[in-house]
A and B are shown apart, each in its own frame.
Chain A
Amino acid sequence: MGSAAPVSVVGDGVRDPLDVMRLREQFPVLAREVHGKPLVYFDNAATVQRPLAVIEAMDDFYRRYNANVHRGVHQLSVEASEAFEQSREDVRRFLNAASEREIVFTRGTTEAVNLVANSYLQPRLKPGDEILITHMEHHANIVPWQMLCERTGAVLKVAPINQRGELMLDAMAEMISERTKLIGVVHVSNALGTVNPVAEVCALASPHGIPVLVDGAQATPHEVVDVQALGCDFYCLSAHKMYGPTGIGALWAREALLEDMPPWQGGGEMIQWVSFEGTTYNDIPHRFEAGTPNISGAIGLGAAIRWLEETGIERMKAHEQRLLKLATDKMTEIDGLTIIGQAAAKGPVISFTLDGVHPNDLGTIIDHHGVALRTGHHCAMPVMQFFGVPATARVSFAAYNLHAEIDVFLKGLEQARQMLA
């Protein structure tokens, strides 16, 4: 093609927009019916569906080269170890980390936060020290710190949010002091959709030398993440939110921090030499991966990352943002419907309440339209308390969702209202 050839730029300025119908063919589950209706899967923030590329990569491991890693000289073990370590490299590339030594496999975001709480922070905390988080955190980025505070006498501080569900950065800045020993912030809120200004939070923290942990569980499926550009110190992710399997995720941490951290769990894999006189520990990242790891999970995570890169996160995001806008516009017109979380920058998540209809009943009725959505507190009970609601219903979109599916959902909403309100 000559350089003068016109380039067609579509929609949000994204070249070559996503072919959603072809994408859908890669997700076998989308072909099924629920209560006699085509499945409309709008519970993607809880866990997303898996493409064939991921299912087949895990299947292939079990069929062809299932073996333990780092332990055998035999061929299968060599292949399994290579695939496992290839996935670590995939995570490194995905996050733009400096080295794959900075990538620790965990069970997911939850375990990654717990690892930092136990191994990094606990030895550094004194009574009266402070951990600063935000009011919109997932329980995974609240409870491990509360438990740590109970053990150490440290204090958990909570930076406020406003009525739109945005972090109040100025107030957060004022809460930082020499007592602050770590800041934890969610990159994209699962309950509100808010995309937080993580780089700005890191800029607040860095003059004080305070490490920042970012809960990236909801960001990784929708945003291109560059941990070096963000300026954070710890970044946590879960594979099952990003088209990969459950039970696997990763912690990224700066190499210097990891090197300084004692092991958390003990066992195989994490040692160099064991005797009853004393044991020496393995190098990072293996020091933090005690026991036989989730090998097929790691292989699935690597496959998911390659699939995301091939499909194109920016293209997927453009499509998801169109769905978000369309659904938000239509839902805003519905009498008695309140959207909880109206931040200027949002991931494809809409939490809402409908007057006269409890989210639980809404969930059941809408399920009979084939629509899967989430109801309840979304593991963010303090967010519910802030907005004074017992629970919300939540729709969340992935790249394979369709405009037409939003109409099915709206019809279900209408029926719920007629039945109950």
Chain B
Amino acid sequence: MALDRLYQQVILDHNRCPRHFGRLAGATHSARGRDGLCGDDILVELRVSEGRVKEAMFSGTACAITTASASMLMEWLAGRSAVAVEEAGERFRQLLGNASLPDDPVLGEINCLRAVGQFPARVRNARLPWQTVVKALSSKA
């Protein structure tokens, strides 16, 4: 059942024990991502040097999908450039909208979130952390 795919073990695990969760001391970039409709409210903090993300953390409260997506994304970010993040974010958006595309190896574990694509009302949750990171990268802490 699609519901079991949505709340599959990997996603539940990231929700229960989100990685890179908390505040980041010495952040150079940050942004707040809020979805008033759902009540999601996260803060993404990044330490960027030489054009690459060195460290990423998120904090706040959000639903299981947003939390899992943020947790996976924070892990994925290490060593990525702003351009790479934007490209992967766009790719992720496409994958959410089209189940027939093959997984993108660049996204790794994040591909499992494609199950969210079957729940149109929840796609915004999977994407919120990505949008917030892009916003953070174009800002200053």
Contact = CB atoms under 8 A, between A and B. Distances in A.
**Co-assembled chains A and B:** yes
Interface of A: 358-361, 364-365, 368, 375-377, 381, 384, 389-391, 419-420
Given A361-B64, A419-B7, A420-B7, A377 B37 contact: yes
Given A361-B65, A364-B3, A420-B15, 13 more contacts: A358-B61, A358-B63, A359-B38, A361-B7, A364-B122, A365-B7, A368-B1, A376-B39, A377-B37, A384-B39, A389-B39, A391-B38, A420-B64
Contacts of B64: 358, 360-361, 420
B16 to A, nearest CB: 9
Interface string B47-66: 00000000000000111110
Interface of B: 1, 3, 6-7, 12, 15, 36-41, 61-65, 119, 121-122, 125
The binding surface of chain B is classed by DSSP as mixed
* Max count, chain A CB within 10 A of own CB: residue among B15, B38, B122: B38
A158 to B, nearest CB: 19
Contacts of B125: 360
A377 B37 CA distance: 6
Contact of A365 (B3, B38, B121): B3
19 contacts: A360-B39, A360-B40, A360-B65, A361-B63, A364-B3, A364-B121, A365-B3, A365-B7, A368-B1, A368-B3, A375-B38, A376-B37, A376-B39, A377-B36, A377-B39, A390-B61, A420-B7, A420-B15, A420-B64
Contacts of B6: 364
Contact of B38 (A368, A376, A419, A420): A376
A325 to B, nearest CB: 28
Nearest to A415: B3
A-B complex: 4 closest residue pairs judged by Cβ atoms:
A391-B39, A390-B39, A358-B63, A360-B63
